[in-house]
A and B are shown apart, each in its own frame.
Chain A
Amino acid sequence: MQLIAENLTLERGNRKVANDLSFQLEGGTALVLTGPNGAGKSTLLRALAGYLRPASGVVRLRGVEGAGEADSESGEVREMCHFVGHLDGIKTHLTAAENLSFWAKYLAGPADAATPVAVRVEDALDRFALAALAEIPAGYLSAGQKRRLALARLAVAARPLWLLDEPTVSLDAASTRVLVDAIDAHLAGGGLAVIATHIPMQLARVEAIQLGRVEAQA
């Protein structure tokens, strides 16, 4: 499996945040994006997910089982990725378990069909130490607990590409280790991850891109 970005140029309100960026990421590897605030980490992640149309260039995902070559133009990459952004995507009026079981059903693909939804949800809650909070409305959770609930989404449906935007924000040390273990397990299974972060994460196989500021061009 490969994630390929070819000559990506990204613009945010007429300001170039990435210029002619190319990289190729092999299966089982994580790509860590670093750089100062405003360097374009989130923008790049949104472009990889296919939300943001690049000014030029293309994102491809190659060699995914059961699918041919997917590219961002047609939205195929988006259907194969987990996106965890700054916002947790949690409904405060639903319990933690209800939140997760909705995503488990909604995001499920052919690979998940074998495991019942309840099992996937329970497994994800256990992994992110949320089992005791399962029946509590998500509105009552703390910021860190909400973050864990958002990350637990990664475990309820199998998807080859994980796009994580500062996933460690408001996590404590123990939860960060849980997250790192989850990413490592995903990579060990041949998956891909692109992670924007400010703190160093002890991952098994990492490549790094340092994004800098690309000045506005006239």
Chain B
Amino acid sequence: MSAFVDLLRRDLKLAVRQGGALGTALGFYMLVVTLLPLGLGADLNLLSRIAPGVLWIALLLAALLSLGRVFSSDYEDGTLDILATGRLPMELVVAAKALAHWISTGIPLALMAPVLGLLLNLEIGAYPLLVGTMLVGTPAISFIGAVGAALTLRAYRGGLLIALLVLPLYVPTLIFGMAAINGLLGASGTSSAFLILAAVSLASAVLCPLAAAAALRLQMQ
């Protein structure tokens, strides 16, 4: 288990030192959300109604940008071969790297959402719910994305291919993320969608490493 923690620590350290991935993702997130009111016009009621959806979709797109690097940087410099010689099963290598991606990209993006909510006239009461559902939903983005990243490791223009493979798989997260916000904001104040959102994240954290590890083994042939 300590090898898992060592790998996670190394990936987080690299994410901090390299810096580029997070900066690009946050910048992209901000730009997409900023462009939207410019395109739709300054109808505050409309913006406020669509704000949660816009923030969720922009977050998915921003997270996609950095997914391509999850394995490719290790593949290109030969590190992946050596990681495979460790006693840590490939499934856990994948899990550590996806977790590092969530911590270094998913969490910052979720925390950035309220700031961007200001631009969209998002209801003040929705802020904690928005961040909460995003924090619960984003692990699925990293783990499902890891499968796409593993499959497209050696593909030419893999980055675009990842988007095609992975975006359809983000549909449950998006639907239940939105439903959770609406449910929690509604009269009852409770939401089963929130629990399903959590279930999607947990299930992908368990199942996706298996698929991604199988894909990586093929890619290393």
Contact status B86-A106, CB under 8 Å: yes
Contact status A93-B82, CB under 8 Å: no
Which residues does chain A contribute within 8 Å of B220, judged by CB atoms? 51
Most buried by A among B3, B17, B86: B86
Contact status B87-A109, CB under 8 Å: yes
Q: Is B188 an interface residue (CB 8 A)?
A: no
Q: Is A88 an interface residue (CB 8 A)?
A: yes
The answer for the CA separation of A102 and B7 in the assembled complex, in Å, is 8
Contact status B221-A51, CB under 8 Å: yes
Q: List 27 A-B contacts (CB under 8 A).
A: A51-B81, A51-B220, A51-B221, A78-B85, A79-B85, A79-B86, A79-B87, A83-B81, A87-B77, A87-B81, A88-B77, A88-B78, A89-B77, A89-B79, A90-B77, A91-B77, A91-B79, A94-B13, A102-B10, A103-B82, A106-B3, A106-B6, A106-B86, A107-B85, A107-B86, A109-B87, A153-B82
The answer for the CA separation of A24 and B220 in the assembled complex, in Å, is 26
Partner of B14, one of A89, A91, A105, A106: A91
Q: Is B42 an interface residue (CB 8 A)?
A: no
Contact status B77-A93, CB under 8 Å: no
Minimum Cβ distance to chain A for residue B144 (Å): 25
- A contacts, CB < 8 Å to B: 49, 51-53, 78-79, 81-83, 85-94, 98, 102-103, 105-107, 109, 153
Q: Is B83 an interface residue (CB 8 A)?
A: yes
Q: By the criterion of a CB under 8 Å from any partner CB, how many residues of chain B are at the interface?
A: 23
The answer for the CA separation of A39 and B81 in the assembled complex, in Å, is 21
Task: Report the 6 A-B pairs with minimum CB-CB distance, sorted nearest first.
Answer: A87-B78, A89-B78, A93-B17, A105-B6, A89-B82, A89-B79
Which residues does chain A contribute within 8 Å of B18, judged by CB atoms? 93
Known: A89-B81, A90-B77. 18 other contacts (CB 8 A): A49-B85, A51-B84, A52-B221, A83-B85, A85-B78, A85-B81, A86-B78, A87-B77, A89-B78, A89-B82, A91-B79, A92-B77, A94-B10, A94-B13, A94-B14, A102-B6, A102-B10, A106-B3
Minimum Cβ distance to chain B for residue A114 (Å): 16
The answer for the CA separation of A168 and B77 in the assembled complex, in Å, is 18
Instruction: Please provide the chain B residues from 53 to 105 with a CB less than 8 Å away from any CB of chain A in the complex.
Output: 76-79, 81-88
The answer for the CA separation of A93 and B74 in the assembled complex, in Å, is 13
The answer for the CA separation of A194 and B47 in the assembled complex, in Å, is 65
Contact status B221-A53, CB under 8 Å: yes
Q: Give the residue name and chain of the A residue nearest to B10 (CB).
A: A102
Contact status B82-A81, CB under 8 Å: no
The answer for the CA separation of A49 and B13 in the assembled complex, in Å, is 29
Minimum Cβ distance to chain B for residue A154 (Å): 11
Minimum Cβ distance to chain B for residue A25 (Å): 19
Which residues does chain B contribute within 8 Å of A85, judged by CB atoms? 78, 81
Which residues does chain A contribute within 8 Å of B3, judged by CB atoms? 105-106
Known: A93-B14, A94-B13, A94-B14. A81 touches B85 (CB 8 A): yes
Task: Encode contact with A along B10-49: 1 for CB under 8 Å, 0 otherwise.
Answer: 1001100110000000000000000000000000000000
The answer for the CA separation of A88 and B220 in the assembled complex, in Å, is 16
Partner of A78, one of B7, B17, B76, B84: B84
The answer for the CA separation of A39 and B10 in the assembled complex, in Å, is 37
The answer for the CA separation of A8 and B115 in the assembled complex, in Å, is 60
The answer for the CA separation of A88 and B79 in the assembled complex, in Å, is 8
The answer for the CA separation of A94 and B13 in the assembled complex, in Å, is 9
Which residues does chain B contribute within 8 Å of A90, judged by CB atoms? 77, 79
Q: Give the residue name and chain of the A residue nearest to B218 (CB).
A: A53
Q: Give the residue name and chain of the A residue nearest to B90 (CB).
A: A75
Which residues does chain B contribute within 8 Å of A107, judged by CB atoms? 82, 85-86
Minimum Cβ distance to chain A for residue B6 (Å): 5
The answer for the CA separation of A91 and B15 in the assembled complex, in Å, is 12
Which residues does chain A contribute within 8 Å of B79, judged by CB atoms? 89-91
